[in-house]
């Protein structure tokens, strides 16, 4: 190699050495960036694993909570029109209305533990009032002592009838409404407790319920204010194949006040209130309020001596008297249901010890129907009899006949059309004294009630 070539090679090496150094530095920088990215990815993978564990824990917690809480509801939308204004809690009137049967309910059951639940059921309805009212029909704690014994404490349904537990759930029974002859009562719920036992005797299963109620005010209307206490009952429901038999007995004590419209001429007549402490009326605590601007200055003279100087001082007045009543209420039901043909017979007997403001009564209702696909036609008949109380001169009686047709729209919705006829009525027929007064007769005339309801559960 000549001298000139050596100089040329040296110049090339001198010029290329910085480029080689630059390439080395770049490779080192890229390797450092790759190492940093790899470390970040590893951290991210660890974070993702931690988040997955947290999400799974939260998901399991939500699933567990979902299993502990149950929400259910029901709704009824109904329209009713009658020949006459009959009153009752369903507000039967000669004008179409949508408040008689309409209601909506929400129920929540929360599982506090494996054997303890908390249940709340709120029901909103209107019926005879112009505005909707919300009531807690159920609000209780239940404790399952064993597989065959359960205790409930709180606010519970009055367990008088075969469909008492589902009386507001229109989808649960075949009628547009439970028969008014049997199911219309002042008392729908009570504060207290019950104990239920499940027992089998061969092929027959029994459900035995013992219950006791604390003081509850019914606030039935402005004229009658009633508390009931010292109340306890026993119900036995037995099932065998397609048959169900239910027997119930209840003893209760009522205490309250009642206001009666009277005139001085009533005393000394059969319609007068007897001055007899065995009736349960506390006359010494009674109060008379004149309705014709005269003052009654001697109530005992009115009650004990009949019309006289003091009696004439107040020709028309309202007598408000405290009363105490001991009642025995007995119910029986027989049901047959093979999935297509069904028949239901229910009866009740009310026995009053004193009969001051409540008379003895007897009721029976029978229903027969047949399911044909989505259609269910049914017939119903009933009879109500009530003996006069001490403040009344005559009792009441009525008979009823009904024809209905239900169509199942789907698994949770049904529409029902029902025609009720009330006839052979004596007095107010067990409806309302205002209805009798408006008729201008001694007995209410025969009357028809037409109803259509849509029931759904969700």
Mean pLDDT by 10 residues, the chain (458 residues): 58 52 63 70 76 72 73 94 81 84 93 94 78 87 96 94 92 94 80 95 96 69 63 96 97 77 51 44 56 46 42 56 84 97 97 81 97 97 88 82 97 97 88 75 90 96
pLDDT of residue 134: 87
pLDDT of residue 443: 87
pLDDT of residue 315: 57
* CA 235 vs CA 137, 148, 259: distances in Å: 20, 16, 34
Between CA 316 and CA 307 the distance in angstroms is 12
Domains and CATH numbers, the chain: 66-258+324-457 (2.40.160.10)
- The 10 Å CB-count burial string (b at 16+, else e) for 227-236 is ebeebebebe
Sign of CA dihedral 442, 446, 452, 457: positive
Residue pair 176/417 in contact (Cβ under 8 Å)? The answer is: yes
Which among 76, 123, 122, 73 is positioned nearest to 98, based on CA atoms?
76
Look up residue 331 and give its two tokens: 């119910």
Residue pair 157/216 in contact (Cβ under 8 Å)? The answer is: no
pLDDT of residue 298: 44
pLDDT of residue 308: 38
Sign of CA dihedral 177, 178, 179, 183: negative
Helix (H, G, I), strand (E, B) or coil at 371: coil
pLDDT of residue 398: 93
Between CA 39 and CA 348 the distance in angstroms is 83
Q: What value, to the nearest 5°, has the Cα angle with vertex 152 and ends 149 and 158? A: 110
Strands 287-290 and 316-337: antiparallel
pLDDT of residue 375: 98
Q: What value, to the nearest 5°, has the Cα angle with vertex 200 and ends 199 and 205? A: 95
For residues 361, 89, 423, 83, the Cα torsion angle rounded to the nearest 10 degrees is 170
Phi then psi for residue 391, to 5 deg, are -90, 0
Which residues on neighbouring strands pair with residue 381, listed in sequence order? 366, 401
The residues near 207 (Cβ < 8 Å, ≥ 6 apart) are: 196, 197, 198, 235, 236, 237, 238, 239
pLDDT of residue 403: 98
For residues 263, 268, 269, 272, the Cα torsion angle rounded to the nearest 10 degrees is 60
Helix (H, G, I), strand (E, B) or coil at 211: strand
Neighbours of 166 (CB within 10 A): 14
DSSP tag of 1: -
The CB-side HSE value for 159 (13 A sphere, CA atoms) comes to 28
pLDDT of residue 223: 46
Between CA 177 and CA 192 the distance in angstroms is 27
């Amino acid at each position: 190699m000549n001298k000139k070539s050596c100089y040329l090679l040296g110049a090339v090496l001198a010029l290329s050495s910085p480029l080689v150094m630059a390439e080395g530095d770049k490779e080192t920088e890229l390797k450092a960036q790759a190492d940093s990215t790899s470390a970040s990815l590893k951290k991210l993978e660890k974070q993702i694993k931690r988040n997955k564990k947290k999400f799974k824990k939260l998901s399991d917690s939500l699933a567990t909570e979902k299993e502990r809480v149950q929400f259910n509801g029901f709704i009824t939308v109904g329209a009713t029109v009658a020949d006459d204004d009959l009153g009752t809690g369903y507000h039967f009137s000669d004008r179409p209305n949508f408040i008689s049967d309409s209601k909506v309910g929400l129920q929540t059951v929360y599982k506090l533990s494996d054997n303890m639940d908390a249940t709340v059921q709120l029901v909103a309805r209107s019926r005879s009032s112009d505005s909707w009212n919300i009531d807690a029909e159920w609000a209780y704690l239940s404790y399952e002592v064993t597989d065959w014994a359960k205790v409930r404490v709180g606010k519970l349904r009055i367990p008088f009838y075969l469909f008492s537990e589902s009386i507001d759930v229109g989808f649960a029974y075949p009628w547009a409404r439970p028969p008014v002859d049997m199911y219309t009562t002042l008392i729908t719920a009570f504060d207290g407790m019950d104990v239920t036992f499940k027992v089998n005797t061969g092929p027959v299963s029994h459900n035995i319920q013992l219950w006791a109620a604390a003081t509850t005010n019914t606030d039935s209307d402005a004229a009658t204010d009633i508390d009931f206490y010292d109340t306890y009952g026993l119900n036995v429901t037995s099932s065998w194949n397609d048959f169900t038999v239910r027997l119930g007995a209840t003893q209760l004590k009522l205490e309250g006040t009642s206001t009666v419209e009277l005139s001085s001429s009533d005393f000394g007549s059969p319609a007068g209130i007897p001055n007899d402490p065995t009736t349960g009326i506390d006359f010494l605590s009674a109060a008379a309020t004149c309705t014709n601007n005269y003052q009654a200055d001697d109530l005992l003279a009115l009650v004990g001596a009949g019309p006289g100087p003091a009696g004439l001082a107040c020709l028309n007045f309202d007598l408000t008297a405290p009363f105490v009543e001991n009642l025995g209420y007995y119910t029986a039901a027989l049901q047959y249901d093979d999935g297509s043909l069904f028949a239901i017979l229910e009866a009740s007997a009310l026995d009053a010890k004193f009969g001051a403001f409540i008379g003895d009564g007897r009721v029976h209702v029978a229903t027969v129907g047949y399911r044909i696909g989505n259609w269910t036609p049914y017939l119903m008949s009933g009879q109500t009899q009530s003996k006069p109380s001490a403040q009344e001169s005559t009792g009441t009686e009525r008979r009823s006949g009904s024809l209905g047709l239900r169509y199942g729209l789907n698994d949770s919705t049904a529409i029902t059309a029902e025609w009720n006829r009330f006839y052979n009525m004596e007095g107010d027929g067990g409806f309302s004294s205002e209805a009798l007064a408006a008729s201008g007769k001694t007995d209410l005339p025969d009357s028809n009630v037409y109803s259509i309801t849509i029931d759904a559960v969700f």
